[in-house]
Amino acid sequence: MYFLVICRKITQRNFFDFALLTAKILKTTETAKPRVYLFNYLAPQLQFEDSMKTTRRSLLTSAVSTVLASPILASEVLAQTPSSKVKKGKSQKLIKPKALQNGMTIGLVYPAGWTKMEDVEQGKAYLEKIGFKVVLGANAGKQHGYLSATDKERAGEFMTAIENPAIDAIICARGGYGTMRMLEMLDYTSIRKHPKIISGYSDITALINTIYQRSGLVTFHGPGAMASFHEFTEKSFLDILTTSPEKSKLPFAPLTMPPTEGWKTLSSGKTGKAKGRLVGGNLTLLSMTTGTPLEINTKGTLLFFEDVTEEPYRIDRMITQLLLAGKLQQCAGIAIGQFTKCEAEDTAHSFTVQEVLEDRLSNLGIPIVVGLQFGHVPQKYTYPIGVQAELDANTGALTLLESAVTV
């Protein structure tokens, strides 16, 4: 099968991007070795201007003559693409950060939205109250539009916290928006050389999953530091991230996190248990990074996701995007949180979130549990990204099978 792609008045860079997209589409077809013939109007004699008298027939004849002389396989287009466009980072050996202990220093950073200084101070005071020293990042209390600072400043603040030997752990104060904009500015080799606890949720989903995939460092989908933690949240945070002389002398005992009251499995979903490495976070971020070098690798994993203030049709759209990309079909199991304030404005002409989940996910044939406690809820568990876990669709429990930190 042959494909002729004719591109009008575009730059070589954009032409190549379009060729790459075409090649990727063809690569997924069942046609044996489909060929893509690329014809660019960049050649001076073939520039297509309204003032030219070249007929469409003669133009196509010239195009076909040109491309028949130099066919390009879809695989060849992919091979010629600049690495900066498609590089997704090599899989790295798993590294676990050092556990927190009373008196250690936490660095508060602001990689996404801006935060009022009074909220900064409240978060700092709370962490000090439960036994930690706190260092504020350079962007504390700043504002740059809807961001805390420029991309360069936010990336610089984060890397400073990573490379500062006086800082033992990093908590992202809040989400909002902006993390994706700075991810290509981070030094993942340096992050791997300076392994530290990194915690956050919501927009921070993109940061913690990218760091895990590019550096191999276990990260944490846990609370930010805008104010005090709920007692439930604090206990989970400390259980997973801290150690004590007593705990350090014992082998790791599987840590089970029961579901909330009212949890469900999907009606036609598979019961039983599934094991895999935990990855995931906020559904919006998981869908937005799909198709980019930052997209999440879900093969054989336990994927968890939730969201906030998104109507059911938007949740449907994001889940459908992940399905079309083949991401959900690759999972060993799926742990779904709660969709806070996600009711439709016009309930008479909408599905509920539960109906969307049933419709889009029930036929995957893997264990799926709905209604777990993480993300945008007051009482949340801290989920470590990258550790082995087990999801039990019979009981609704998620169990960590290994420690997320080292002593």
Which sequence positions are flagged as catalytic? 202, 306, 376
By CB neighbour count within 10 A (0-12 exposed, 13-18 middle, 19+ buried), where does 101 fall?
middle
CA dist., res. 226 & res. 223, Å (int): 9
DSSP 46: G
Whole-number Cα distances in Å, 195 to 78, 91, 150, 397? 34, 16, 25, 29
Tell me which H or E stretch contains 61: helix 56-68
CA dist., res. 84 & res. 199, Å (int): 28
* Phi, psi dihedral angles at 4 (to 5 degrees): -105, 120
319 and 351 Cβ atoms separated by less than 8 Å: no
CA dist., res. 281 & res. 344, Å (int): 22
CA dist., res. 307 & res. 316, Å (int): 12
**Token pair 């962007």: residue:** 139
Buried b (16+ CB within 10 A) or exposed e, 223-257: bbbeebbeeebeebbbebbbbeeeeeeeeeeebeb
Q: Which of 186, 233, 236, 228 is nearest to 211 (CA)?
A: 186
- 3-class DSSP state for residue 244? coil
Indicate if the alpha-carbon torsion angle 106, 112, 116, 117 is positive or negative: positive
